[in-house]
Amino acid sequence: MAAPEITSSDPDGFPYGVWHERHPALFERLKGAFPFSSAQRAALDALLEETRHGSMEPLPDDAPGAALWNGAWDRGHYGKRWTDAPFLWAESYFYRRLRGAVGYHAPEGAWRGIDPFGPFKDAELAGDAVDEQLASLDELDRALVDEKTDALLLAALWGNRADLGFLLTAEEEGGDRPLVADEREALRALLRDGGGRVSLVADNAGRELIPDLLLAAHLLGAGRAAEVRLHIKPHPYYVSDATTADVLAALRRTAAAPGAAGRAGHLLWRALEDGRLTLDAHPFFCAPLGYAEMPDDLRADFASSALTLMKGDLNYRRLVGDRHWPATVPFAEVTAHFPGPVAALRTLKSDVATGLTASTVAALDAADPEWRTNGAHALIQVRAPVAGAPGGA
Ligand SMILES: O=P(O)(O)OC[C@@]1(O)O[C@H](CO)[C@@H](O)[C@@H]1O
C-alpha cells in the first residue's frame, strides 16, 4: 500500500519553506546575476506570486514542451494551489515555468538556451573547493582498488551537498559523518566482475560532478566497468543540475589539472571518443514523475546495466516515491519497480526516508530533529534484484 504523496500544504513543513523562503532567495540571486529586462523580471515576479498565492496555470498548448506537460506528464494538478499539489510535480513544473519566464525555451528568443543558473555553476567550478577535490586524488594513487572505490564513492556522495538550491537557505556543514545507511560492500560486490555498463544518474554540476567524473574514471580504469553511461539533464532543472555543457566544462577542468586528476580527465576524454563513456540526456530526467513511471526505452536502458547509481536527493525522491513512507520501509520494497540493480548515494535534504533501522531513526530523532532535511546526514543503499523476482535481473 503506497503512503500518501508529499505536498507543500503544511506551513510548518519543509516543502512549504522551499516555496516561501528558498524560491524568493533564488529569484533575488537570479536578478542579481543577469541584466534581465523589465519583462523578464515581471515574469519572474508573476510566477513567484502565482506559486505563493495562486493556482497552477498550464502551459499554453503551443509552448515548448506543452505536449509532455499537458500530455504524458499531466497528472491533473493544474488549477490546484501550488502547495496543494504533490511537491515533486509542482516544483518540477515551477522550474519549467522559471525557464519560461527568462526565455530559455523561446524558439527565436535571444535568451534561448541561456542557463539561468550558469553564473552560479561557473563560479563554483572555478573555485578553490574544486582545486582541492582534484588535488586529493593524488592521495589515492597507491590505494588498493576497493579502497579507491570506497573513497571515491564517499567523495561522490558528499559532493551532493554542493547544491545551490539547498545552500540558499541551509548551512553547509562538514560532511564525512557516519552514514545513516552504508551498503558500500554490497555495491562493490556488484562492480567486482567489471564486465558490464554502470549507469550513473548524475545530479548537480561543479563540486558534485567532479567527484562523479573521478569515480567514473576509476571504474573504467580499474576494470570495474566496461562502460559508464552518464545520465544528465537535457536542460537546466533544479538550479545546480548538470547538463551536457556542465559535463564538458567539468571534464575540461579535470583534464587541465596536474597529477592523477589530469590523468583521469584524459582517460574520460578518450573514453568519450571511443565509447566507453557515453552521455544520455533523456527528457524523462526533467519529468515531474517518479522513476516508477519512466518510459520503456529508459527502463530497457537501466535493465541492461550491471548497476545504476542514483545520485542526490531529488533522484532519491523519484526512485523511492516522494511519499510519507515509514522510514523503516525496506529500500528493496520501494525500489522493486526499478529494472536491474540500483544504488542510491544521497545526502538527506527532504522529508522522504526509507530503508533505515528503527534504532537509527530513534537515534536521529533524538540527536537531530532536522535530520531528514538539513543535509548533515547521508546514505548509500543498494537493491540487487534476485533473478526471477519482480524487477529482477
Ligand atoms: O537533488 P539534490 O540536488 O541533491 O537536492 C535537491 C533539493 O535541494 O531540491 C529539492 C527541494 O527543492 C529537494 O529534493 C532537495 O532539497
User: Tens of pLDDT along 36-88?
Assistant: 999 999 999 999 999 999 999 999 999 999 999 999 999 999 999 999 999 99
By the 8 A CB rule, do 292 and 339 touch? no
pLDDT over 90, % of the chain: 90
Question: What b/e sequence results for 202-230 when a residue is b if at least 16 CB atoms lie within 10 Å of its CB, and e otherwise?
Answer: bbbbbbbbbbbbbbbbbbbbbebbebbbb
As a whole number of angstroms, the distance between CA 295 and CA 13 comes to: 32
- DSSP secondary structure letter of residue 286: G
As a whole number of angstroms, the distance between CA 136 and CA 216 comes to: 16
Q: Which residue do the cell numbers 556543514 mark?
A: 173
| Ligand 1 atom at shortest distance from the alpha carbon of 346 | 4
By the 8 A CB rule, do 287 and 235 touch? no
As a whole number of angstroms, the distance between CA 339 and CA 335 comes to: 9
How many angstroms does the Cα of residue 314 sit away from the middle of ligand 1?
5
The pLDDT-based confidence of 169 (bands split at 50, 70, 90) is confident
Mutate to test the pocket of ligand 1, among 98, 171, 238, 323 (most ligand atoms within 8 A of CB): 238
How many angstroms does the Cα of residue 323 sit away from the middle of ligand 1?
15
User: Tens of pLDDT along 293-306?
Assistant: 999 999 999 999 99
As a whole number of angstroms, the distance between CA 91 and CA 96 comes to: 9
As a whole number of angstroms, the distance between CA 89 and CA 58 comes to: 13
Question: Is residue 62 assigned to a domain?
Answer: yes
Question: Is residue 3 assigned to a domain?
Answer: no
Domain stops at, among 114, 141, 161? 114
Question: Is residue 5 assigned to a domain?
Answer: no
168: left (phi over 0), alpha (psi -120 to 50) or beta: alpha
Q: What is the 3-state composition of the chain as percent helix, strand, coil, each rounded to the nearest 5?
A: 50, 10, 40
User: Tens of pLDDT along 126-154?
Assistant: 999 999 999 999 999 888 999 999 999 99
Mutate to test the pocket of ligand 1, among 20, 291, 313, 317 (most ligand atoms within 8 A of CB): 313
How many angstroms does the Cα of residue 39 sit away from the middle of ligand 1?
29
Q: Do 339 and 252 fall within a single domain? A: yes
- pLDDT of residue 168 exceeding 60: yes
Question: Is residue 8 assigned to a domain?
Answer: no
Q: Do 158 and 225 fall within a single domain? A: yes
As a whole number of angstroms, the distance between CA 301 and CA 369 comes to: 39
| Cell output for 101 | 519566464
Mutate to test the pocket of ligand 1, among 350, 373, 379 (most ligand atoms within 8 A of CB): 350
The pLDDT-based confidence of 360 (bands split at 50, 70, 90) is very high
Biggest CA–CA distance in the chain, Å, is 59
Q: Do 190 and 232 fall within a single domain? A: yes
- pLDDT of residue 260 exceeding 60: yes
Question: Is residue 277 assigned to a domain?
Answer: yes
Question: Is residue 56 assigned to a domain?
Answer: yes
H-only helix segments in the chain: 14-17, 23-33, 38-53, 66-67, 87-102, 118-125, 128-136, 145-158, 164-167, 184-191, 206-221, 244-255, 259-274, 296-303, 313-320, 331-334, 358-367
Q: Do 313 and 371 fall within a single domain? A: yes
How many angstroms does the Cα of residue 173 sit away from the middle of ligand 1?
16
Question: Is residue 226 assigned to a domain?
Answer: yes
Q: Do 367 and 294 fall within a single domain? A: yes
**Which SS3 state, helix, strand or coil, does residue 7 take?**
strand
Number of domains in the chain: 2
Q: Whose CA is nearest to atom 3 of ligand 1?
A: 163
Determine the residue type at 391: G
Q: Do 84 and 181 fall within a single domain? A: no
Q: Do 214 and 299 fall within a single domain? A: yes
Mutate to test the pocket of ligand 1, among 51, 203, 204, 314 (most ligand atoms within 8 A of CB): 314
Confidence check on the interface: ipTM exceeds 0.85, yes or no: yes
Q: Do 141 and 98 fall within a single domain? A: no
Question: Is residue 322 assigned to a domain?
Answer: yes
| Ligand 1 atom at shortest distance from the alpha carbon of 15 | 11
How many angstroms does the Cα of residue 258 sit away from the middle of ligand 1?
32
Q: Do 235 and 345 fall within a single domain? A: yes
Domain stops at, among 98, 114, 130? 114
pLDDT at 366: 97
Mutate to test the pocket of ligand 1, among 87, 92, 166 (most ligand atoms within 8 A of CB): 166
How many angstroms does the Cα of residue 375 sit away from the middle of ligand 1?
10
The pLDDT-based confidence of 391 (bands split at 50, 70, 90) is very low
Q: Do 128 and 184 fall within a single domain? A: yes
The CATH number for 293's domain is: 3.40.50.10880
Domain stops at, among 80, 114, 148? 114
Q: Do 196 and 238 fall within a single domain? A: yes
| Ligand 1 atom at shortest distance from the alpha carbon of 22 | 12
Q: Do 38 and 84 fall within a single domain? A: yes
What is the CB < 6 Å shell around ligand 1?
A: 18, 91, 160, 163, 165-166, 203-204, 238, 240, 312-314, 317, 349-350
How many angstroms does the Cα of residue 263 sit away from the middle of ligand 1?
32
Which domain, by its residues, includes 324? 121-383
